[in-house]
Structure 1
């Protein structure tokens, strides 16, 4: 059983950890956030109460946000238990949380040859897409080209090129990363599709 650290202790550890990761002394960080080195030292060691008017310039100096500096450190935020979302010929597991870092969505997809022909219609949207094949062979259609992507290989492409991903000669499992536009184009159409 692990004992949870109080949030102020976690914040102090983050400040010190970020400072050391940048190779900065107390004096260097103090100069960047307009605090005295002794004040910063007392904040890091817990000998001084942390005030919001001190956290804002410290976060800015460490090139992070106040939200990231004070976010919860609970274990439940670490483990994601993805639930499958099914449509005919495709199962999707979301491996990232809503509002993930930089608006990126990570998903595992299992595509089978039973996927309806219309589901592999070429789509276009702003952004870039990336995927790697975990098992099987993926059929990537990019405009007029068809590219077979084997297990262990990855593909990255501009999503302004008409594209679709399907299964070649049996099921394929991929791990994919979508930006916000890719998530809307690919995953929201999956959620809206009728279940078998």
Structure 2
């Protein structure tokens, strides 16, 4: 019984870390999450810091808001089936399909990104490092003072503490493969070096 209690305690202790990582990854404030879940900001803060034990009553609305299964929030053991059954999540003019199961570390998404409104782009900052690969369409990326348009086959990577915003440039959404990692974790994209022509015969 003691071992079972210890295992349960370890699972519950890890919930707060996963909740904080999910919220920061979604670029959502505690106040915004409180508005969508009906859970007070102070309770959310205590959950993330581990000062409040998670209950089903608290975890269900958080699971719906974050768009992840309940067992992912509590760190339930993975099933043997290696396939990731991605459920799309709508957020800020984007439709995201998670391609990884873990909530911490490197995260991968397939995303359909719309023009995201007609107003002035709102550049934001947050902790992390991001890598974007455009599969189709045209993606406008504002990164600090840079204003870029990426087309199919182009890649961008950047520290997300730099003010940034991205959206499609046409009515058709841009399809993008996105990787997001913790601060300091670069993607280290490598390409095979070209063979240099030799002048010898």
- TM value normalised by structure 1: 0.48
User: Counting helix residues as a fraction of each chain, which structure ranks higher?
Assistant: 1
Larger radius of gyration: 1
